[in-house]
Chains A and B, each alone.
Chain A
Amino acid sequence: MAAFPERMASVLLLWLAVSLTATLAVDRANFKSCDQSAFCKRQRALKPGESPYRALLETMELTNTRLTLQLKNDKNKVRLLLELYRLQGNITRVKINELKPLKPRYEVPDVLIREPPTEPLSLLSQDENGVVLSLGVDSQRVIVSARPFRLDIMQGRDVLLSLNSRGLLAFEHLRLRKDTFFTLITSTFASVWDIVKSVLSRQADGEAEDASLANEEEAVVNEKDEEGMWEETYKSFTDSKPNGPTAIGLDFSFPGVEHVYGIPEHADTLRLKTTENGDPYRLYNLDVFQYELENQMALYGSVPVMLAHNAQRTTGIFWLNAAETWVDISSNTAGKTVFGKMLDYVQGSSETPQTDVRWISESGIIDVFIMLGPTPNDVFAQYASLTGTQAFPPLAALAYHQCRWNYNDQEDVQAVDAGFDEHDIPYDYIWLDIEHTDGKRYFTWDPNKFATPKEMLQSLMDKKRKMVTIVDPHIKVDSNYKIHNGLKSQGFYTKNKDGGDYEGWCWPGSAGYPDFSREDMRAWWASMFAYDQYEGSMENMHSWNDMNEPSVFNGPEVTMHKDAKHGDWEHRDLHNIYGLYVQKATAEGLIQRSGGVERPFVLTRAFFAGSQRYGAVWTGDNAAEWGHLKISIPMCLSMGLVGIAFCGADVGGFFKSPSSELLVRWYQTGAYQPFFRAHAHLDTSRREPWLFGPENTALIREAVRQRYTLLPYWYQQFYHTYRTGQPVMRPLWVEYTQDPATYALEDQFLIGRDLLVHPVTEEGARGVTAYLPGKEEVWFDVHTFQKHNGAQNLYIPVTMSSIPVFQRGGSIIPRKLRVRRSSTCMEHDPYTLMVALDPQGAAEGELYIDDGHTFNFEKKEFIHRKLSFANNILSSLNLSPEAQFSTSSSVERIVILGAKKPTKATLRTADGKSSQLEFDFDTATSVLTLRKPGMNAGTDWSVMLQ
């Protein structure tokens, strides 16, 4: 209703006042550049050179699980403790903390799925210049150099990775403020006081066990205070910094590497750019209003993981730190033209390409996991062993989602639901944004517009459809609101720097922000999703966490003040993990309400390393522009590389209204991306698929139907990522590691290994050029079954109905061609197996089936089969004989692409019976279709072609 603009005008105006603009672009002035962030500026001012740190080899201790030694900064005399672990699966962990911090520094909890199991390190050699340790695998060694301190990981003669080789290790130790008694004296009688203090500390340490160590300790020399160390003002916001400067920084070098990826979330290219001439990439979860494309500004989520790739090897760095982080990238080949590089090659230039990376964080410790690959899939497995894999979603969540801010009332929901049936377009979830609540009080319903939510949910359930309602983490301060009272009375709110409940301005007006870093708070939050607590909820209602960066309209950079308190920690220390906790608690709630039976589905906007364990992520508030459609591909690819497989962008674009062409192209693209949801801003015109004329309705219907026919493949791919950590939506280089032509491709991608998608993302496109990889491979157009050779750029003429998709020769993809109203309606339908033969006449694939929505698959209640075609025999083998599940689905059709015409096709089933199959052979396309074999999809069978 129109009341919205009036009611919300004040909030929106305030938001605008913060962002100072109503124009359709992000206002950069609202977000800090590195120069405006004191610690980033300080750290970045340090230039490469000789490191002041040296390793005190005499302090080295090597136990079965780790090596420790002290590092000493020769300038300020501060000692650090280096810990080095060799972890199972070819991972090296390097931790650096102060040897004796004034108080503990934040170490990020709840991200690692367990304490990573270690493997023994062995000492290979040692002299006064350093030590050499074996990493056990493939002659891999770690060399710790003493003066200056650096760390190199070698394989044979090759350096894979170096730490502090550019001398940028910088660790701001905790210190007392100058205006306190001690530091005041220090500054007045510096030298005298140093002597006194060192005597004092010697005495103190003399009582400690390690006397010899203490004797070597020298008094710490504090650097001069710089502006912004103890207090920092940005715009009208002052950040009190009671702990003073606490930043950390470290450099990494990748010799031989020209391509680095990852560190989402940025609206930028897949291949990360060098940052020497601009700001570093920033990782700081922020609610950025109308974000810009192709830049390094922070967005809603952060995963501090970077992958480095060349033809020989893929490695990864996981920088486990939840504070504001900046990442600088430089390269010695950046800026060189292809010709220049060729010249180097011809002239035998000795310069190896190298990429240098520098990480800077505002607080916490250095805790780095070096994932040594060597293949991309190894890196995915290594990262998964640390932070876990993508939560295996309910099947329906992989289907199509219809969202809008907002579906006005129950009648509106009913009308939209009916519209899908009328136009024969399937959908599984309809979504309700913030307006469905009673005054932005989450867990409630607007009493007029959604008076009988259970009736609404029941009528959706009757059609085997579901709903998602939004639950944001800002809680209206209102003593008549149950959630607020519960949080308040238990002291569960995040506190401000003065110890009171932190309050900020958000959708409901004044709001509190639950302290999700507390386990007891999360448990309470989860309990609010119980059916008797969240009134009107039902089992077909799932959840959505928005604004969980957290977004604070009147906070610095539209988020929480860094000096807000989470227990003893400052918000500064854990900002980037806040959103993860919100989704974690929400997902827990959905699991608990079903007694641990049902898989949850929760979408989040903010995320961190490990968020993949709790649900899906979308790319936030994009816009109805072609550039935003294009960028959705690298954005989701980047997330997939760092574990977050379930990614999608708002189909159609959130802000502004798309042209019908853009909308159709977006549906066609979104249908082939993991999370497939249309969404729209409140101010935009309605855009349900049937509102753009019958032709466009038909085009959208077809795109959505293609998604539904491929749901068995998507589901199997998600099972696969749940098992392995490999992304579902993949950049080509992940599969074609040796092919440099794939390294920067971001207008096309793979789903699993077997489907290559090149969406049309240009306005008015008449054709696209897709790169089909693989010298020995062939690819089949999934629509025409036409065969194309690999390792070529293929020009494909397109019309509005075209979605260029290719199936890899050598693969078998299960489909369900009977598209129905919702995925659940298709549960018992038969499969069609799409067998695409490779040039050798072979193919392989998998089929995964379970109940689609419970955790029973963890109890081995599933079917997992390997399908393989070789020597003219297609067979189904049980990949998990220990698993038990039965399906009523059969195989109704087998389509073999690139086949020869057989004389007969014989089906042999598990009971030993044989039968002849009817078939069709299309000589023009070499497509063999086996008619109605009809065997149960969960059993052993084989088909022999003769």
Chain B
Amino acid sequence: MTTMHLVPLLLLVTVSAVEVQRPRGVPLTKKHFYAEGTPFTCLDGSRTIPFDKVNDDYCDCQDASDEPGTPACPNGRFHCNNAGYRSFFIPSSRINDGICDCCDATDEYNSGATCQNTCKELGRQERESLYQLAEITREGFMIKQQLIKEAKKGLEAKKSKVSELGADKKLLEEKVEALRTVKETAEEPEKVAKERHLKAWEDQKAAVRTEKDNARMAEVFLELDDDGDGFVSVTELQSHTELDTDSDGSFTETEAQAILGGLDEADPAAFQAAWKDIKDKFISEAQAPLETPHSEAREPVSDNDSEHYSEVEIPEEEEEDDDLEEEEEDDDHDEADFNTPPAVQEKVDEDEGTMPPYDEETQTLIDAAQKAREEFDTAERALRELDDQMKNLEKETSSDFGPNAEFAYLYNQCYELPTSEYVYRLCPFSRVSQKPKYGGSETSLGTWGQWDGPEGNIYSVMKYDHGMGCWQGPNRSTMVKLKCGKETVVTSTSEPSRCEYLMEFTTPALCQDPKTLDHMLHTEL
């Protein structure tokens, strides 16, 4: 980049120094081919024509050399002197086309276009930007030297760190093995004790369940024994239609009898045999679904929760036959005995689910095993971290950070550029991504691929590929063009082709030795 700008600068300065008469459009270097008054030979030697046919607006030479100052030849080149700026060639088709191309306006001599001579201004701007570029290059190159130094230091440090870590790793591995043994030894008695404790708890729970079931059976027996004669009769059983064996809607005597083991009535002992069959189906009248309550009964009900139970009781009292009132009392009584509605009862079951604390002996064993485990885990984690650290370091030290590792400082860094819609993020040697500014997930525009500059300047372009796939298209990829600059910064992003991104990035690491530049600036300007 730098040198490309400098060569023409040299030219412009020399050319502007002298003004020599020659045919229009001829550069000084070719002046000697065009000798006034002598026949002109086309520069390709194809033919010789009288001199008055040079620039006579008719193309005689195949190579266009007879018409350097007119648009007559399709392949001609016109030389803009551009005194005060860079001289250059334009295609002769741009002569007198009404568009100003040469800053000295010499290309529009017969088109009616009014072109200003802007060469001085352009020259000034060019020199200014060259100075700036020189300045940037100089400072950038200084920074670069520092970067190289640091990179070298860093690299050595990292290499020694790797070998250092290698030694640590060996020790750590031994430690992990030792702790593993300790852990396993402690876990054995812990396991036995824990199992013992668990079994005791299971046994206890089973006992409680049996006891509860018996209590419920008694309650149900009492509920079913309407006449309180100590027997549950077939008729009494039939009042609970939910117990219908075949659920066909009619709970027959035979079915009821079958439940009672063929008996007409069952005493508590006989009932025990039937209980198994009916306990899952049985619905206590106290919890049976309510009939539509009377509206006047609802009226006083407020939203207040505390009054909710009264709503349940009121219709019952009013609806049921007098005969049943006693039973209701029984129900109340039963309820009082259990003192909790079934729903709450279940909760108690859950409460009972909490295993009692370990006995002291078991707890001691557990604590010991836990301690061994934690120590082992800590050691193992440390080993893993160490391993990762080593791998990262090895990867870093073996990466291509440029001829003098001047790009090493970019490793593990990220640089962002917000645009109107997105924030673009470049993490050199890692990835490029794009995140919508106003919400939405991040899109990968590629992961680090390789240096991809042209031959001889391979470190001028980074290529990131295999980003997120595009609909009906390729995976996203990003080309990062590097430029010399004092700052390390992403200067622009674009998507020239669908899902192929272009990013411009300045870094001092790309700044070339400014010696040549300095030399030229000082001697030529």
Interface set of A (CB-CB < 8 Å, partner B): 1-6, 9, 12, 22, 408, 411-412, 424, 448, 462-464, 682-686, 705, 817-821, 825-826, 829, 892-893, 931-932
With known contacts A5-B470, A463-B99, A821-B99, A686–B496 Cβ distance under 8 A: yes
B404 in the interface, Cβ–Cβ < 8 Å?
Answer: no
Contact between A932 and B58, CB atoms less than 8 A apart: yes
The complex places the Cα of A817 from the Cα of B76 at a distance, in Å, of 13
Assess whether A464 is in contact with B98, with CB atoms less than 8 Å apart: yes
Q: Does any Cβ of A come within 8 Å of B332's Cβ?
A: no
In contact, B495 and A2 (Cβ under 8 angstroms)? yes
Are A12 and B494 within 8 A (Cβ)?
no
| Contact segment of B223-231, B380-388, B497-505 | B497-505
Q: For the complex formed, measure the closest distance between the CB of A14 and the CB atoms of chain B, giving whole angstroms.
A: 13
Are A12 and B98 neighbours in the complex by a CB distance under 8 Å? no
Chain B binding site: helix, strand, loop or mixed by DSSP? loop
Shortest CB distance A71–B (Å): 55
Q: Is B93 an interface residue (CB 8 A)?
A: yes
Which B residues, 433 to 468, have Cβ-Cβ distances below 8 Å to chain A? Answer: 434, 436, 440, 443, 445
Give chain B residues whose Cβ lies under 8 Å from the Cβ of A408: 494-496
Segment at the interface with A among B159-167, B317-325, B366-374, B471-479: B471-479
Chain B neighbourhood of A893, CB < 8 A: 58
Closest B residue, CB atoms, query A12: B471
Q: Which of A412, A820, A821, A892 has the most CB of B within 10 A?
A: A820
Q: Is B94 interfacial (CB 8 A cutoff)? A: yes
Q: Which residues of B contact A683 (CB under 8 A)?
A: 470-473, 498
With the chains together, A686 CA to B470 CA distance in Å?
16
Interface flag for B261 (CB, 8 Å):
no
Q: Are B473 and A5 in contact (CB under 8 A)?
A: yes
Q: Which residues of A contact B495 (CB under 8 A)?
A: 1-2, 408
Residue among B99, B440, B471, B473 making CB contact with A464, cutoff 8 Å: B99
Q: Given A2-B443, A2-B499, A9-B471, are A931 and B421 also a contact pair (CB < 8 Å)? A: no
Determine if B98 and A825 form an interchain contact, defined as CB atoms under 8 angstroms apart: yes
Taking A2-B495, A3-B421, A685-B497 as known contacts, 15 extra A-B pairs with beta carbons closer than 8 A to each other, sorted by chain A number, are A2-B501, A5-B471, A5-B499, A9-B471, A22-B472, A408-B495, A464-B99, A683-B473, A685-B500, A705-B74, A820-B93, A821-B93, A825-B99, A892-B57, A892-B72
Q: Which residue of chain A lies nearest to B441 when distances are taken between CB atoms in the complex?
A: A6
CB of A107, distance to nearest CB on chain B (Å)? 44
**Nearest B residue to A684, CB-CB:** B498
* A1-B495, A464-B99, A682-B498 given; A892·B93 CB < 8 A: no
Establish whether residues A686 and B497, one from each chain, have CB atoms under 8 Å apart when the complex forms.
yes
A3–B497 alpha-carbon span in the complex (Å): 13
| Chain A residues near B91 (CB-CB < 8 A) | 424
| Minimum C-beta distance from B425 to chain A (A) | 14
Hey, which chain A residues are within 8 Å of B434, CB to CB?
A: 2
By a CB distance below 8 angstroms, the chain B residues around A1 are: 421-422, 495
User: How close is A507's CB to chain B, nearest CB, in angstroms?
Assistant: 15
Q: SS class of chain A's interface: helix, strand, loop or mixed? A: loop
The answer for the CA separation of A883 and B194 in the assembled complex, in Å, is 114
Closest to B97 in A: A825
Which residues, 175 to 190 on B, are CB-close (under 8 Å) to A? none
Instruction: Report how far A3 CA is from B472 CA in the complex, Å.
Output: 15
Q: In whole Å, how far is B470's beta carbon from the nearest beta carbon of chain A?
A: 6
A819 touches B94 (CB 8 A): no
Cross-interface CB contact of A448 among B99, B420, B473, B499, cutoff 8 Å: B420
Q: When the two chains form the complex, which single residue of A2, A5, A818 contacts B93, counting CB atoms closer than 8 Å?
A: A818
Closest to B100 in A: A462
**How many angstroms between the C-alpha atoms of A408 and B499 in the bound complex?**
13
In the bound assembly, the distance between CA atoms of A354 and B97 in angstroms comes to 59
Q: B470 and A819: CB pair below 8 A?
A: no
Least Cβ–Cβ distance between B469 and chain A, in angstroms: 10
Number of B residues near A (Cβ < 8 Å) is 33
Closest 8 CB pairs of A and B: A825-B97, A686-B497, A932-B58, A820-B93, A683-B473, A5-B471, A448-B420, A685-B497
What are 18 inter-chain pairs, A to B, with CB distance below 8 A? A2-B495, A2-B501, A4-B498, A5-B499, A12-B472, A412-B496, A683-B473, A684-B498, A705-B74, A818-B93, A820-B93, A820-B97, A821-B93, A821-B94, A821-B99, A826-B97, A892-B57, A893-B58
Q: Is the CB of A821 within 8 A of B421?
A: no
Distance, CA A12 to CA B473, complexed state (A): 13
Q: In the assembled complex, how far is the CB of residue B419 from the closest CB belonging to chain A, in whole angstroms?
A: 8
Does B514 belong to the interface (CB within 8 Å)? Answer: no
CA distance A382 to B471 in the complex (A): 50
User: Counting chain A CB atoms within 10 Å of each CB, which of B98, B420, B443, B498 scores highest?
Assistant: B498
Residue numbers in B under 8 Å from A22 (CB-CB): 472
Chain B residues, CB < 8 A from A12? 471-472
Question: Is there a chain A Cβ closer than 8 Å to B123's Cβ?
Answer: no
Given A1-B421, A408-B495, A686-B496, the answer on whether A821 and B470 have CB atoms closer than 8 Å is no
Residues of B within 8 A of A892 (CB): 57-58, 72
- A817 — nearest CB in chain B belongs to which residue? B74
B424 to chain A, nearest CB (A): 10
A893 to B122, CA, bound (A): 40
A519 to B370, CA, bound (A): 89
Question: Are A462 and B71 closer than 8 Å at their CB atoms?
Answer: no
**Min C-beta distance of A496 to chain B, whole Å:** 31
**CA gap between A462 and B98 in the complex, in Å:** 9
**Minimum Cβ distance to chain B for residue A656 (Å):** 10
Kindly list chain B residues whose C-beta atoms are within 8 Å of the C-beta of A462: 99
Question: B99 to chain A: which residues have CB within 8 Å?
Answer: 462-464, 821, 825
Q: In this complex, what residue of B is CB-closest to A9? A: B471
Please give me the residue from chain B that is nearest to A404 by CB atom. B497
**A820-B443 contact, Cβ under 8 Å, with A5-B471, A684-B498:** no
Query: Could you give, for residues 122-159 of chain B, a 1 whenever the CB lies within 8 Å of some chain A CB and a 0 otherwise?
Result: 00000000000000000000000000000000000000
Complex CA gap A2/B434 in Å reads 9
In the assembled complex, the Cα of A633 lies from the Cα of B422 at a distance in Å of: 45
Which residues of B are found within 8 Å of A9, using beta-carbon distances?
Answer: 471
State whether B476 touches A818 (Cβ < 8 A).
no
Q: Which residue of A lies closest to B443 (CB)?
A: A2
Return chain A residues, CB-CB under 8 Å to B93.
Answer: 424, 818-821, 825
**B72 contact set on A, CB distance < 8 A:** 818, 892
Residue of B whose beta carbon sits closest to that of A408: B495
Q: Give min CB distance, B435 to chain A, whole Å.
A: 11
Q: How distant is A784 from chain B, measured CB to nearest CB, in Å?
A: 15
How far does the Cβ of A124 sit from chain B's closest Cβ, in whole Å? 65
Bound complex: CA A705 to CA B91 (Å): 14
Q: How far is the CB of B403 from chain A (nearest CB, A)?
A: 29
Q: Give the Cβ gap from B479 to chain A, nearest Cβ, in Å.
A: 13
CA A464 – CA B472 in complex, angstroms?
38
B residues 56-71 with Cβ under 8 Å of A? 56-58, 71
Chain A residues in 8 Å Cβ range of B470: 2, 5, 683
User: Which residues of A sit under 8 angstroms from B436, Cβ to Cβ?
Assistant: 3
CB distance from B20 to the nearest CB of A (A): 28
Contact residues of B between 377 and 398, Cβ < 8 Å to A: none
Residues of A within 8 A of B422 (CB): 1, 3
A826 to B74, CA, bound (A): 12
Contacts of B74 in A (CB 8 A): 705, 817-819
Find the B residue at minimum CB distance from A463: B99
